[in-house]
Structure 1
Amino acid sequence: YERALAEQRLAYPPEAYFMPRDKILKAPTGQATIYLNELNYQPESGQAHLEEHQKEHQNPEIFFKTRDNLILKNSITQTAAGGGENPLSVAAILLKEHLNQGYRIFLAGRNQTTCERLQSLLLDYGLPVDTSLKPENLTAGSISLMSVRLSQGVQLTNEKILFLSDTDLFGSKQKIRAATNLRQESRESFFDDFAEIKQGDKITHIEHGIGRYQGLKTLTVEGIVNEYLILEYQGEDLLYVPVDSFDQLHKYHGSGDTSATLSRLGGPQWAAAKEKTRKAIDDLLLELLDLYAEREVMEGRACLQPDHLFREFEASFPYEETADQRRAINEVITDLTALKPMDRLISGDVGFGKTEVALRAVFLTVLSGRQAGIMVPTTVLAQQHFETFKERFANYPVKVAVLSRFRTPAQQKQVAEGLRTGTIDVVIGTHRLLQKDISFKDLGLLVLDEEHKFGVRHKEKLKNFRRHLDVISMSATPIPRTLQFSLSGMRSLSAITTAPRDRLAIRTFVAAYDDLIIKDAVEKELGRGGQIFFVHNSVATIQARAARLKALLPEIKISIGHGQMRENELEKVMLGFAEHQFDLLLCTTIIESGLDIPNANTMIIENAQNFGLAQLYQMRGRVGRSQRKAYAYLLVPELERLSPDARKRLNALAEANTLGAGFRIAMQDLEIRGAGNILGKKQSGQISAIGYELYQEMLSDAINDARGNHQIKIPEPEVKVSLSAHIPPAYLPELTLRLQFYKKIAAAENELELTQLEDELSDRCGSPPEEVLNLLRLKNLKILLKSYRVLALELGRKKISFHFDPESPPATEKIMALLKEETNRCKLTPEHWLIMEICLEPHELYAWSEKLLQKIH
């Protein structure tokens, strides 16, 4: 604050951030107090207290004798549990009794959709429900239905007033959590991503291919106002996508740096790309199934069951395992003690506990009299793992060695001899382990760290190991939950997604470049004995930056690392930093993703505005790997000149300060990379051709077919209704939020999800206008039609038409009964269209359609 004043910058006094205590205590003064008490108890001798309170606050206290709605709720619950009559019929009987006793009944629906549903249901039971009555005009013996939030109802017995909530009738609505549905979880991650879309971004349309997003546009068609998303295709052709069809859209994500060209609207290329992807997926599944079948019939060698020595080794782990870590350990032990060769992939960020899972597997293998090899992509990682394994096995009869370029030829020869004779139990090395002069006396387990970083030749050799050895692959790149689910049973997967208990979130700052900020940050870290990463992503000017840092901080030891250095030089720099030979590592973005340096807990990123969100997130993840608080400084030339996109990216990272904060936007790029790593280069090409989300859907469908769980794809019903169904910009002005809600509504799978979305909109923007309610009704109607296999619905001025799926038509006898009952206004065509003459308002369409469909199915 003082520095800001000295530099003549705007600043806010620290004390102004807090509200004084006396101001907080005075805030409730003068408010009316209402006591609701079932015992009709007046506190502190009633009248005397009341008069004193009125003098002090000039507001009356009012006492009501109340009773809750427990009897009503219990009656409904017991009926539902007993499987007897409709629970709502019990409520209807009790409501009629109250009306006969002269009660005024206020019925609260959480939103407009719920009110419409309640009105339709209660009218079926002959109850007089009115939504137009004002509460003050309500007379005895009537029901007022209002769209208000009421957590639970209450009875005012003396006044004969009954307040009822929809939860009293139907029970509380539980929030649907994405984690309970893996496909839902996958969609959730793309909702946030869809909200980040900007003009010019690519979008995949399931039917028409990859187009370029050109914004939203409001159009009036035949007098009906609606909003459309515009996609541009090859030749500047435009496609206008109605907002109720957003379930057909996914933001395009390729694999790696490759990107697809725009599709030609109406051309054959998109169908050909999907067919090519389908064939590639089939090839992948055949390969996976062949390997899986081969391993199923091949007998391996089971490890011994864990004994007291193994349990003692487990107990020596100095940290408390996370639930994910414990699950992964148990899965690995189950695999090791089975008679089939293990092939398990363990994914999780660096520092989340993968190495400890490998340590347990290695120890059990050694206790069973066999050797274990750990193969890593770099010599620096080999050295780090060697130190970790040596420390963990220090008190146990396990001989550990390392094999890499850092060892002399004589030392390497000695290790090779120890492996051949069996005097070395565990070896950690690079691809040097695959060379011809290395042989094992009895290799039982191979642990592969970041397998995707090995070359093709090395991977081919590893394939042969997989046929008869226990193999664990470890990946620091996150793997999508949906992909884990899809491949389960073909490839064993364990995901460790929970941070260790004592891990602290990284504090992130965005600031203009300032030598004082750098000096403060570095000195603060050095003051607690730590180290610093400084990212300067220009090899041409990195020496000049080093000189400036040296002038600013003459006492610190600086090392430089970048991608144009010779490999062995870079390895020495990284290892030197890991061994605390330097205080600050000045580097480009080549910070080794697998490198774990718990002592480095400050990250300074220069020109942070030039990096993507996922890249920033991954770089920031190099710090905060110990129990110390970590700091990240995102420095930019001038805050005022940042583009809106850059400002949004940096703010998103600065605000994501909680561990596991669902940082989906950045994580998605990493997950797609993880998917490509598991599935291989050929599949990465297919991901790029059609986009990740569509690829994932096709993969999931193909695996279900391969397992014999073929599910018939029911197309989204086409609904033609002349009504405005959109989110008006005047109601929700922010474009990105409108896009996000359109996507969520289109992807909703049941009425409860739609109700929650209506609640969310109400909380953000107030009561939804008719256009928004129409959009929700339209989606709810589509969900209903899909459940009855209705392909299309058309609502005209005096008729309604249903087009049924020929593969699943309604019951013939029920259709005939309906035609007989409605001879003058109902007909069935040979093309499976049921046409009925009737005049319906849009808000009546759902309830009427539901009754009709129930009647004929």
Structure 2
Amino acid sequence: MLQANLYRILIDTSPARVILCKDYEEALSAYQVALYTYSAKLSTKRPLLCKEMRLRVGDDVRSFFIEFVENLAQLRAFYADENTLLITPISSLIYPLPSQKYCQNLRLAVGKDYRLQELKDTLIRYGYESVDMIEMEGEVSFRGDIVDIYPPLSKPYRISFFGDECEEISVFSIETQLKEQAREDSLTIPPALFSLDCGEYERLCEAVEESDYQVMSKDMLSLGLWYLPHRELLPASYPSILTTNAARELAEIVSVDRGDALESTCAELDSRAQDFWQQVLVHIAESREDSMQMPAILQELESYRDVEFHLEALEALLAHHASKRTTIIVRSKSELAAISAKIVDSSNIVESSAVVHISTPDELILSLESTFTHSAAKRPKRPKFALDELNIGEYVVHSEYGIGIFKGIVQNTILGVTRDFIHIQYFGEDKLLLPVENLHTIDRYIAASGSIPVIDRLGKGSFARLKAKARDKLFAIADSIIKLAATRNLLQGSVIDTKAPELAVFQHSAGFGLTPDQSKAIESIFSDLASGRVMDRLLSGDVGFGKTEVAMNAIYAVCRSGYQCALIVPTTLLSAQHFATLSKRFAPFGIQVGRYDRYLSAKEKREVAESLKNGKISVVVGTHSLFGAEFSKLGLVVVDEEHKFGVKQKESLKQLSTNVHILSMSATPIPRTLNMALSHIKGMSRLDTPPTSRKDSRTFIKHKSDALLKEIIQRELRRGGQVFYLYNNIASMPAIYKHLQELFPELAIAMLHSQVNASESEQIMYEFACGKYQMLLCTAIIESGIHLPNANTIIIDGADRFGLADLHQLRGRVGRGDKEGFCYFLIESMESITEDAGKRLLALERNSYLGSGASIAYHDLEIRGGGNLIGESQSGHIKNIGFSLYLKLLEDALATLSNQPSAIEHSLDLRLNISAYLSPDLITSDSLRLELYRRLSLAKEVREVIDIEDEIRDRFGALDTLSQNFIQLIIIKILATKKRIKSILHFGQNIQITLESLEKHSIKAPTTDDDCVLESLLAYLRS
């Protein structure tokens, strides 16, 4: 009854400036009421909504970065306007927050003078993080006379200076990093964190540095909040309302039950807030007044009620409340077409986006929107390119010379010509200096389970032999893939009716809107099913992205057409999970679902087998036990995680599905290039968009201690959840198990690692999913495809020893349901970890979504997805040459055998004695130059190069001669490659061109000047 009773208070000219709610759901509901009263001019207070932030003293605020900057923006608006109402979950206001002093803005105007160094210093003091390339709110980038800035809750802006004068302020795109047309005359820049002066900034940084709190990186973002000298507890400073649910939540936060003796158990709370909240609890328990600014408790009256509302029942509801005034809320007047003119004429119409359904003693207020939902989580867009595609010290694979170590960009001058090269270290003293325009010939080395490769020797030919072996094997694999596809393509498939209106009813009954990817996948599958040919389609997408819902739409269509369906999975646990999901979903439609796996008795198996044979069961879910089953009329086989089946099982699967439709599902993403190569011979669909209800997991980097383990584990157990404890050393696991049992004698802990046999592993996972154990102590072998919505805390012990992709994937094991996931990266010593490991962990702590660092992790996972598609038997070849090159060779084999253009690029020997490189004076950051070199080397069309040239001009300023020369060099490379020229050699004025036919052409430039040589060669290539 929150909405109705809050409405009563808000229209009663309440002095409240703050409303504290139990959680974000309740705050969102309260916000709708306040928005309505403001829209209808029943209240003068504009509502502001804060995000939930379960932050505690000493926590690294970086883990709550997105919510924190959004809440600070709401706080600034609250301070700036007395006619505002702050609505917030109680957890977000439990501690004192920055006072108004720290919420001041900075204003820039076009045409005015500013000292750039002073501006830079101010923005750093305001909490902006200086980066090479902007991706997130709260970041700033300084590049000569150009400043990029992304203020919180705003757009990213590019500010151009001419000397000290502000020349232009433009909006720019995070994805493309290019300016958009929007120009501004001025820009108000709020602090990313706090508006500090020089002295305050230095004192705060000093306090943070000397702090006892253990965090990965001690800076203003991580711990600054806890050391701000001027903070205020808003409920103590402004008239506040505490909902009854919030009061209960408050009691839980301080571990005190309502009405108890109220012992001092508020150790989690900031000491400055502790006394106040203790008195609030006493006030609640004893219902006494207090001299402090005590929040008023929202009194609930039965005569003010929230009402259930659906548009279909509008007339009946109005008849029931015939004696009351009626107010109808619409987003726009056009919505009124959905109701009768009589209701419109007799009601008060209010235009507002608020969703309110309440009944008071004399009024009924209804919104034509039946429900309000979470405002979709703002998933930050990320650049189309990543800065850490190649890192110094990492293994790389050159397509001709093999595996070496990437050592970065070096500049060399030979015979007066200066160029940039990529330095790759090979075995012994061997090194390769690769011209930057040929960066496309190297890739990061990735192999299964983080294999350590053998570094190659230059000039020994051993890598060429390894590559030739792998290529031979791949041609055999590609041949079998194509033959299987061709055979299936000739088969006549059962024609399924995919136009029936009942299919739309089934889709609607899911209770949630499909993502665009899901809708597109269903459309493609329906097209295949209705085509008359046998469907063979792969559906890839992460766990929780809705693959099962897509498959159920296909199953329903096939069952409606009178056929049976089988959903085959690799483990009994998955079988149980899918059976529960399908049974619940299909029950209202009268479709009988059966289950067939090793947890059924012999008698139950016989009964299911008989029902399949006589057609009583329409859908069956099971493991490989199903391969020998007989069906009455099998129309569709859905296979989940096919790569996890053994060779014999795959053969049985082929026999079962030779002339029926087949849909394979994979939780590991398939590389886009391989996707394209395979799409010519089988259908491919991807689900890349997460559901809007899915929350990102919260990530913390912590120093390992027993006290911390108790806090983490007890927090999860208090909310009825389960915990993964990940420890990647099997030999030491028994000692960890013993220590955890000593810390938690009552805790049921299971242990799982690669030396536990398959059937026992499956049994352990099944029992964990059923709730027999509260904690799973395991290595990094946690099943990727398993959905465990009750396990929402993962502890990764020794996180600094894991790779970025592994950490990113492991973090994804939690937060799969509607509960927030917590991921703890534990480290023995903050001081002893390497700089690279520190950067990895910090990137993941701050970026709970796929940011630039995590997009590399995603790239690694994509490559592994390609490995899954090929099969484990190829791991030896993959280890020898790396996944990236292996997949390129597979794509080439598929293309060759399918009579498509080769995936392997034509090789051009380009040797021009000219100085050409992206100038470090123009692009000062090595990582930015490397990223641009990589993109230019991968460009296939001249148009792409021109676009990148425009981008450089936009982001860094006008190109100098050396940078312009390099752009010309790349254009020459593209044109020559398209014309399949074998080599271009140059000395002085003379240029020799060798064609693929070995025919030689010579041209002579008018002078030896670099620009003259380039222009002559371009003129020849374009002629």
Q: Same fold (TM over 0.5)?
A: yes
What displacement does 1:487 show? 0.8
**Structure-1 separation of matches of 2:415 and 2:460:** 29
Match of 2:105 among 24, 27, 41: 24
Residue 805 (1) aligns with residue 998 (2)? no
Q: Which position in structure 2 is the counterpart of 1:394?
A: 587
- Name the CA distance, whole Å, in 1 between partners of 2:745 and 2:996: 81
Deviations 1:322-374 (A, max 9, x none): 11111111222222223222222111111111111221222222222222222
Match status 1:357 vs 2:550: yes
- 1:473, distance to aligned residue in structure 2 (A): 1.3
In the TM superposition, residue 699 of structure 1 has moved relative to its aligned partner by: 3.6
1:327 and 2:520 correspond? yes
What is the CA-CA distance between 1:848 and the residue it aligns to? 4.8
Partner of 2:848: 657
Shift of 1:623: 0.8
Structure 1 unaligned blocks of 5 or more:
6-12, 34-109, 113-134, 137-147, 153-165, 169-187, 808-829
Give the Cα–Cα distance (whole angstroms) in 1 for the partners of residues 420 and 735 of structure 2: 54
* Aligned partners of 1:603 and 1:620 also within 8 Å: yes
SS of residue paired to 1:373: strand
Residues 193 and 251 of structure 1 are in contact (CA less than 8 Å); yes or no, is this contact kept in structure 2?
Answer: no
Distance in 2, Cα, partners of 1:319 & 1:167: 35
Matched residue, 1:403: 596
| Cα 1:223–1:338 shift into 2, 3 Å | closer
Q: CA deviation at 1:555?
A: 6.3
Out of 905, 910, 915, which is 1:718 matched to?
910
Query: Any conservation in 2 of the 1:256–1:673 contact (CA below 8 Å)?
Result: no
- Matched residue, 1:480: 671
> What amino acid is aligned across from residue 532 of structure 1 in structure 2?
V
Are 1:228 and 2:421 counterparts? yes
Instruction: State the TM-score, normalizing by the size of structure 1.
Output: 0.70
2:824 pairs with 1:633:
yes
Which amino acid in structure 2 is aligned with residue 24 of structure 1? Answer: N
Equivalent pair of 1:111/1:149 in contact (CA under 8 Å): no
Determine the C-alpha separation between the residues in 2 that align with 1:536 and 1:271.
Answer: 39
Partner of 2:862: 671
Q: Note the alpha carbon deviations across 1:647-680, whole angstroms, 9 max, x for none.
A: 1221232233125878332223322222122233
TM-score (norm 2): 0.60
Match of 1:448 in 2: 639
- Are 1:313 and 2:506 matched, yes or no? yes
Contact 2:448 2:875 in 1 (8 A): yes
> Which of these residues, 367, 370, 373, is aligned with residue 563 of structure 2?
370
Is residue 392 of structure 2 the alignment partner of residue 206 of structure 1?
Answer: no
Structure 2 Cα separation of the partners of residues 683 and 694 of structure 1: 13
Cα distance 1:382–1:789, how it changes in 2: closer, same or farther (>3 A)? Answer: closer
Offset at 1:388? 0.8
Q: Which is helix-richer, 1 or 2?
A: 1
Cα shift at 1:791: 4.9
Contact 1:303/1:364 (8 A) holds in 2: yes
Once the two structures are TM-superposed, the CA of residue 556 in structure 1 deviates from its matched residue by 5.2
**Once the two structures are superposed, what CA deviation does each residue of 1:506-527 show, in whole Å capped at 9, x if it has no partner?**
2211121133433333343344
Q: Is the CA contact 1:719–1:782 (under 8 Å) kept in the aligned structure 2?
A: no
Equivalent-residue separation in structure 2 for 1:4 and 1:255 (angstroms): 38
**Structure 1 residue 636: Cα displacement:** 0.6
CA distance in 1, matches of 2:568, 2:780: 24
Where 1:398 maps in the other structure, the secondary structure is: coil
Q: CA deviation at 1:771?
A: 4.5
Match of 1:293 in 2: 486
Separation in structure 2 between the aligned mates of residue 236 and residue 193 of structure 1, nearest angstrom: 26
Report the residue type matching 2:593 in the other structure: V
| Structure 2: 5+ residue stretches without partners | 1-54, 60-71, 73-94, 114-142, 146-161, 172-178, 182-382
Aligned match of 2:281: none
2:302 matched residue in structure 1:
none
Aligned to 2:681: 490
* Distance (whole Å) between structure 2 residues aligned to residue 310 and residue 740 of structure 1: 47
Residues 293 and 306 of structure 1, relative CA distance in 2, 3 Å threshold = same
SS in structure 2 at match of 1:639:
coil
The answer on 1:251 being equivalent to 2:419 is no
- The secondary structure found in structure 1 opposite 2:676 is helix
CA offset at residue 441 of structure 1? Answer: 2.6
Secondary structure in 1 aligned to 2:587?
A: coil
1:576: which partner in 2? 767
Tell me, what secondary structure is at the counterpart of 1:228? Answer: strand
DSSP-derived class of the 1:265 partner: coil
Q: Residue 345 of structure 2 corresponds to which residue in structure 1?
A: none
Contact 1:189–1:668 (8 Å) recurs in 2: no
Alignment check: 8 A CA contact 2:983 2:993 kept: yes
Which secondary structure does the structure 2 equivalent of 1:721 belong to?
coil
Of 377, 385, 390, the residue aligned with 1:195 is 390
| Equivalence for 2:496 | 303
* Residues matched between the structures, number: 679
Aligned-partner Cα distance in 2 for 1:806–1:739: 31
After alignment, is 526-535 or 268-277 more displaced?
268-277
Is residue 217–residue 230 contact of structure 1 (8 Å, CA) maintained in 2?
yes
Q: Distance in 1 between matches of 2:434 and 2:550?
A: 49
Query: More deviation in 636-645 or 664-673?
Result: 664-673
Stretch moving more, 523-532 or 757-766: 757-766
Give, as a single letter, the amino acid of the residue that structure 1 aligns with 2:1009: E
Aligned AA (2:865): G
Residue 154 of structure 2 corresponds to none
- The answer to whether the 8 Å contact 1:617/1:666 transfers is yes
Tell me if structure 1 keeps the 8 A contact 2:843–2:853: no
- Equivalent position of 1:242 in the other structure: 435
Q: Does 1:833 align with 2:965?
A: no
Structure 1 letter corresponding to 2:938 = A
Secondary structure of the 1:448 match is strand
Kindly tell me: are residues 840 and 17 of structure 1, through their superposed partners in 2, closer, same or farther at Cα, counting changes over 3 Å?
Answer: farther
Describe how 1:594-743 pairs up with structure 2 within 5 A. 594-658=785-849, 663-681=854-872, 685-710=876-901, 714-716=906-908, 718-723=910-915, 725=917, 728=920, 736-743=927-934
- What is the distance in 1 between the residues matched to 2:951 and 2:144? 10
Q: Tell me if the contact between 2:417 and 2:913 (Cα under 8 Å) persists in the aligned partners.
A: no
Contact 2:982 2:996 in 1 (8 A): no
Measure, in 2, the Cα distance between the counterparts of 1:233 and 1:660.
32
**Matching residue of 1:130:** none
User: Which residue identity is paired with 1:412?
Assistant: K
Give the residue type in structure 1 aligned to 2:546. Answer: G
Aligned counterparts of 1:354 and 1:793: Cα–Cα separation in 2: 51
Q: Aligned in 2, Cα 1:574/1:684: closer, same or farther, shift over 3 Å?
A: closer
Please say if residues 1005 and 1012 of structure 2, whose CA atoms lie closer than 8 Å, have aligned partners that are also in contact: no
Secondary structure of the corresponding residue to residue 640 of structure 1: coil
Matched, 1:430 2:623: yes
Cα distance change of structure 1 residues 782 and 506 upon mapping to structure 2, 3 Å threshold:
same
Moved more, 838-847 or 631-640: 838-847
